[in-house]
Chains A and B, each alone.
Chain A
Amino acid sequence: MISKYKWWELVITYTGMALFLTFILAPFAEALMVSLRPIDSVFRVPYRFFTDNMTIQPYIDMWTSVPKLGRYILNSFFISCAVTALALACIIPAAYSFARFNYRFRDGFLVAFLAVNMVGAAVLIIPLYKLMFSLGILNTYWAMIIPGAAFSVPTGIFLMRSYFLRIPRELEDAAYVDGASRLYTLRRVILPVALPGIMVVTIATFIAAYAQQFLFALTFNSVTDYHPLPVGLYQFFGRERVLWNELMAASLVGILPVLMVYVFLQRYIVAGLTAGAVKE
């Protein structure tokens, strides 16, 4: 059998996996251990991975040390949902247009969208700041939602377009023969068929939006009530003595929703990533 491994190949493979996972998971493991300790044993030498006085107290105290923790987590969720909704409203029609129609400058437009992908938001932070200021949306949710959506549109278009390209044209032609309008055809014929693709784009956009809500919130928003979790917790850093156990507890609780989404929808996410974001 071709896939049969010799014993030493198995040893190498599993050793490699173990080393790889150690690197990947060590920060999470350590965060978990720290979050389960009273603060005095967090600040103790020599270093120990396990200590005997484990407690879940930090998970209770964090709600008082970070009074708005719940709010931050909700904000994170809300901002990501809004970003995803706004982005999808732009992505789906544009991707359909690129996939199905022939018109002047089509390829030029597509390249332009791809080029946008190269520019990181931090480079454009000055005019963006001025823009948010003149639109009067500094210190509102919009200042985090609108730029967040804009920067996720190009990747989404690219990914969604490749799904639309796979849908046979005959489907539309049949609808047109029956006298359906093009908008109706898009809504009632194409979108239902493209649903798995739309799912993938939705999940990928949501996860990206959840992962990248630091810069805009840090720069465009100073109202603590509107902060997403990363910026809300970042403000802890400036303090004299960082309560690492509670910070880690709050971090872990904050990433729990997205990790759960990941575990349940893992198959879609992997498919989406590999099919779209970068794949040619």
Chain B
Amino acid sequence: MNRRGDPFPYLLLLPAAFLTLAIVAWPLIETFRLSFTNASLRPVEKYVGFENFVEIFEDDFWEVIQRTFLWMFLGVTLKIVMGTIGAVLLNAAVPGRALFRVLVMPPWIVPIAIGVFMWSWLYNGQFGMISGVAQSIGLLDGPFEFLAYPNAAFMATIVTDVWIGTPLVALYLLASMQSIPTELYEAAWTDGASRAYRFRRITLPLIAPSIFTMALLSAIWTFNSFDIIWILTEGGPRGATTTMIIDTYKTAITRFRFGEGAARAVMILVCLTAFAGAYLALLSRTGRRGGAQ
């Protein structure tokens, strides 16, 4: 049914291609162009060469990059660890499992912003739950405003990010675990292998590729994360939670320095390209091994 030069398959692509070109591809190119200009709200803009890039590195940009990667690394590690534990629990053949599966997903289902509103109340120092419980069991001497201190705020934003991201990781790893043939477990069980042993020697090696894929995807999503930090701290206190995304948004949208903001965005794109390259390499490897699906 395929003639060479047949326009039909291309026509089918047209709506998606048009939308993507307009909303993603063109803005991508435009970001690069803007990064070499001094664009702002004023209608005139002129080319300034690499001035924006020189300027941002004279700023505290290195610190922002380091902070972003630390934020991402901690967030992804926790999500993967929690997600794996979650998947094991979701997979356990015990009564009540169905209910557990339903109750684990809400953080991922509800609007991100609304989940974050709830956390912002939990972190409240005077009246919030975390500070309150920590005081009553003696972990804290007095009220502690989690979002007011740099390190605590940094960790708090990570915890909220983990809360939102863990369900999806757990679900995905659960699907991966369920695709393991039961015969493997039965054989191991016949040989007298304990549950922990079976997990270590069968489950973990077989879901390792999925864990790796999920870690990479999760890294990309975490890197791009905006809502959580913006609602909890807007990048504060004293810049302690300013990741590259928050930094770009502040420069561009709050201070209207489009040129400089675009230069910061270009630096994000450089990082993302590295992740994307890794992801696509992984895809093409599994694609060749296991077919298109």
The chain A residues found within 8 Å of chain B, CB to CB, are: 2-3, 5, 9-10, 13-14, 16-17, 20-21, 23-28, 30-31, 34, 42-49, 76, 86, 89-91, 93-94, 96-98, 100-103, 106, 109, 111, 113-116, 118-131, 146-147, 149-151, 153-154, 157, 162, 165, 172-173, 176, 182, 207, 210-215, 218-219, 229-231, 233-234, 237, 244, 247-248, 251, 254-255, 258-259, 262-263, 266, 269-270, 273-275, 277-280
Contact across chains for A230 and B113 when beta carbons are under 8 A apart: yes
Q: Which residues of A contact B223 (CB under 8 A)?
A: 120
Partner of B172, one of A13, A119, A146, A278: A278
Contact across chains for A49 and B275 when beta carbons are under 8 A apart: no
Which partner residue on chain B sits nearest A117 by CB separation? Answer: B220
**Number of A-B residue pairs at CB separation under 8 A:** 305
Partner of B275, one of A20, A106, A118, A131: A118
Interface secondary structure of A, over-half rule: helix
Which partner residue on chain A sits nearest B93 by CB separation? Answer: A3
Contacts A26-B129, A211-B109 given; indicate if A131 touches B27 (C-beta within 8 A).
yes
Comparing B53-61, B67-75, B200-208, B247-255, the segment that makes contact with chain A is B247-255
Is B80 at the interface (CB under 8 A from chain A)?
Answer: no
The chain B residues found within 8 Å of chain A, CB to CB, are: 1-2, 6, 8-17, 19-20, 22-28, 30-31, 34, 82, 85-86, 88-89, 92-94, 96, 100-115, 117-122, 126-129, 131-133, 135-136, 143, 163, 166-168, 171-172, 174-175, 185-186, 189, 195, 213-214, 217, 220-221, 223-227, 230-231, 245, 248-249, 252-253, 258, 261-262, 265, 268-269, 272, 275-276, 279-280, 283, 286-287, 290, 292-293
Contact across chains for A27 and B115 when beta carbons are under 8 A apart: yes
Residue of B8, B11, B22, B34 with most partner-chain A CB within 10 A: B8
> Given contacts A120-B223, A124-B27, could you give 5 more A-B pairs where the C-beta distance is less than 8 Å?
A91-B16, A101-B2, A273-B168, A273-B171, A274-B171
Contact across chains for B30 and A130 when beta carbons are under 8 A apart: yes
Contact across chains for A20 and B85 when beta carbons are under 8 A apart: yes
Contacts A93-B12, A118-B279 given; indicate if A126 touches B261 (C-beta within 8 A).
yes
Shortest beta-carbon distance, A136 to chain B, in Å?
14
Partner of A127, one of B11, B31, B171, B269: B31
Q: Which residues of A contact B163 (CB under 8 A)?
A: 23-24, 27
Contacts A17-B89, A274-B172 given; indicate if A153 touches B126 (C-beta within 8 A).
no
Residue of B13, B31, B103 with most partner-chain A CB within 10 A: B13
Contact across chains for A215 and B227 when beta carbons are under 8 A apart: yes
Q: Which residues of A contact B174 (CB under 8 A)?
A: 274
Contacts A122-B224, A123-B269 given; indicate if A131 touches B94 (C-beta within 8 A).
no
Shortest beta-carbon distance, A102 to chain B, in Å?
5
Contact across chains for A273 and B114 when beta carbons are under 8 A apart: no
Complex CA gap A167/B113 in Å reads 38
